[in-house]
Amino acid sequence: MAQLNTFKSVQHKFKLSSAGDSDKLVYKAPFGYTAIVLNAQCANIGATDRTVTFKLKKGTTESILVDELVIPPNDAANLATGKLVLQTGDELIGFASDANDLDLTLSFLETLDA
């Protein structure tokens, strides 16, 4: 039986493509669920400034949440300053200037659609 409400937290390297490449998928709301993104924390663990672009994609429509946001070394930024609602198939996508120095922690609630 599917869970009605499930809180999840995913930590991984922000392994997105370098500038000039195509956007990469960060998260996709699963079939039959709505996801509420509570936090999207991105930390720069490198020694130089890094930039990140983060988007919400609903069908063919993309909304830029941050565009080439500079994150200084040993600092962090929240890529979604408010709650985001993703319905089945909606995606969080983006790219970074370096795929090795940025750590992303994504916290969200997945709830079963009625």
For the segment 21-53, what is each residue's pLDDT rounded down to a tens digit?
Answer: 567 788 999 999 999 999 999 999 989 999 998
Residue for token digits 């909606």? Answer: 90
Provide the pLDDT for residue 14. 60
pLDDT digit string, tens, across residues 45-93: 989 999 998 999 999 999 999 999 999 999 999 999 889 999 999 999 8
DSSP designation for 21: S
Question: Across-strand partners of 34?
Answer: 111
Neighbours of 23 (CB within 10 A): 17
Predicted structure pTM score: 0.84
Determine the length of the chain: 114
